[in-house]
Chains A and B, each alone.
Chain A
Amino acid sequence: MLKTYAYPEFPYVQPPEQKSGQIVRKKAVIVGGGPIGLTMALDLAVQGIPCVVLDDNNTVSIGSRAVCYAKRPLEVWDRLGCAAPMVDKGVGWKIGKVFRDEELVYQFDLLPEDDHKMPAFINLQQYYLEEYLIERCKDFGDLVDIRWMNKVISVKNNPDHVRFTIETPDGIYEMEADYAIACDGAKSDVREMLGAEFTGQFFQDRFLIADVVMKADFPTERWFWFNPPFHRGQSVLLHKQSDDVWRIDFQLGWNADPEEEKKPEKIIPRLKAMLGEDTEFELEWASVYQFACRRMSKFRYGRLFFAGDAAHQVSPFGARGANTGVQDTDNLAWKLKLVMDGKAPDSLLDSYDEERVFAADDNLRNSTRSTDFITPKSNISRTFRDATLDLAQKYGFARKLVNSGRLSSPTPYVNSSLNTPDSDAFHGTMAPGTNCADAPVKVGGTPGWLLNHLGGGFKVIYFSDGSGTPAALAALQDAPVPVEALVIGGNVEDTKGLVTDRYDGTPGTTYLIRPDQHVAARWRSFDPAKVTAALNRAIGK
């Protein structure tokens, strides 16, 4: 198999606690050095919280695995200072095509709105993504202590700390954590050790995923086939990644033998049937998998939290795995900081469970629906699916029913207990619980982006009524939980008028924004007492 990528090997270093035999209590321990664990580490580090990351391996993801990254996680990584290399290296795309037999059934355009810093979607092999996250962690020096070849072999979840037993090449040691976050993937050992429930649906189907290196003139689009001539009775997905690597997924059916199907001599003929005898290609990596849609009943167990696939597993159609995992850590990190600092009650951490379980259910619903369409579970379900595809070739209404994956978008926390419900009338989509829309702005004459200026603390966006910044607004930054003011028409220039548009910003309009860039509350005028009340509500007081 060809190699377009050289896997780095990270050095194992014997942990100091193992050498000394001392049991040390850490502020935060993260289990799993994949995309979610590393993002969690960065989000703690930017807030000055030291953490240990335990990983049982010593390299990045083997194979491309998660491939599609959506705008919202890219915005989170931009807040953490590492989106630029991802966007540079990744392949941007926005057109998806759905074929049946040889015919194009329909195509969709993600129609990204202009004037957002981050693109709608990029495709990037997971190993690059992890490499960039690890590079970024280095900028924080000792704050992020990544320990390779450190495998958790037991967990004791105590009321006031979590205790880990860890195995390294040098033997076994113990470590304690004030707070721990398990980001150790769908097969989470920590979840297993806790004996926590992880239930849902298994789908009786198998998929072959292959990374293929080729110079092909397929456009940079997502192509999905139902029943193509080169793979009858099943579906196929084609996606472009960087370095001329293409991801191809073949649906194999339930009866396929995973060991047999993984063999190159079995895969190459499938690829030749698809790509043509004359297309030159090399197989780089392949895997056969079966998938499930399931989640833990809760994501918080005292001081131990679950994030990413460890907490919830979805089918790959819709790119909802890594994308939603990053939104888990985005939700948790600021809450941990406030509770650690004694500025918010412990109950704020319950809202992680409340908000992210709600989001997981939305993802599971969408992912299950796509899977039911792609892998119908009964004759009648297949009959409806095929009838829908028949009608979709001619009739617009049926195209809306074709489901080859609904692509990941953030789930607004519409009913969150942290929201202050609207008391004034607003147009547009920026309701409490929604993630903030980006827009170009200028601050101090320098062009930039609204989300970059929102950053990672509480903010007020205030639309100036021309009478300057109210003194009570400026005073909010001296509160115990400081709130900085972005005054549109004051310290922030709304270059294209899009902040005003996207936030329905009439003069006096005031938004309270959470550190994870979600709307906590909004009003048509600035009232310091209301802002303070909403702030208290947003920190669980």
Chain B
Amino acid sequence: MSKEPAMTLNLEPNFANPDDFYERLIETHRGLSDAQSADVNAKLVLLLSNHIGDMAILTQAMDIAREGHEAQE
């Protein structure tokens, strides 16, 4: 029985054009309040997470994203 290698989060450059992506990302938030932007970001994370689907990869990303932040309470 063949076993798929464990998938890992890709941290190498993967955008065909990084500047196009970044501009589109900032554009998505243009004119929004901070609260609206937080909502847009939450939905983005949920949409992309569903697209990725792989819990191992998502966990790695969540861990890296949280690095350096201490709980405030």
Contact = CB atoms under 8 A, between A and B. Distances in A.
Given A397-B15, A401-B19, 19 more contacts: A369-B22, A373-B22, A378-B30, A379-B34, A379-B37, A380-B26, A380-B34, A380-B41, A384-B22, A384-B25, A388-B22, A395-B64, A397-B11, A397-B12, A399-B13, A400-B15, A400-B18, A401-B18, A403-B22
A381 B15 contact: no
B63 interface: no
Interface string A358-378: 000000001001001100001
Interface of B: 10-15, 18-19, 21-23, 25-26, 29-30, 32, 34, 37, 41, 64, 68
Contact of A384 (B12, B13, B26): B26
A400 B13 contact: yes
A396 B13 contact: yes
A140 B54 CA distance: 70
Of B19, B32, B34, B41, most A-chain CB atoms within 10 Å: B19
B18 to A, nearest CB: 4
11 contacts: A380-B37, A381-B26, A388-B22, A391-B64, A396-B12, A397-B10, A397-B12, A400-B15, A401-B15, A401-B19, A401-B21
Contacts of B37: 378-380
A380 B18 contact: no
A396 B22 CA distance: 15
The 4 A-B residue pairs whose C-beta atoms are closest, nearest first, are A380-B37, A400-B18, A395-B11, A400-B13
A390 interface: yes
Given A379-B34, A390-B68, A396-B11, A401 B29 contact: no
A373 B22 CA distance: 9
A369 B17 CA distance: 13
A165 B10 CA distance: 64
A406 B19 CA distance: 10
B29 A403 contact: no
Nearest to B14: A397
The secondary structure that dominates the A interface is helix
A484 to B, nearest CB: 38
Contacts of A400: 13, 15, 18
Contacts of B41: 380
Of A372, A373, A378, A388, most B-chain CB atoms within 10 Å: A378
Nearest to B68: A390
A369 B30 CA distance: 14
Nearest to B19: A369
Nearest to B32: A380
Nearest to A380: B37
A380 B12 contact: no
A390 B34 CA distance: 21
Contacts of A380: 26, 29, 32, 34, 37, 41
A401 B34 contact: no
B12 A366 contact: no
Contacts of A397: 10-15
Contacts of B25: 384
Contacts of B34: 379-380
B69 to A, nearest CB: 10
Contacts of B26: 372, 380-381, 384
B12 to A, nearest CB: 5
Contacts of B12: 396-397
A380 B64 CA distance: 20
A400 B26 CA distance: 16
A390 B64 CA distance: 11
Contacts of A399: 13
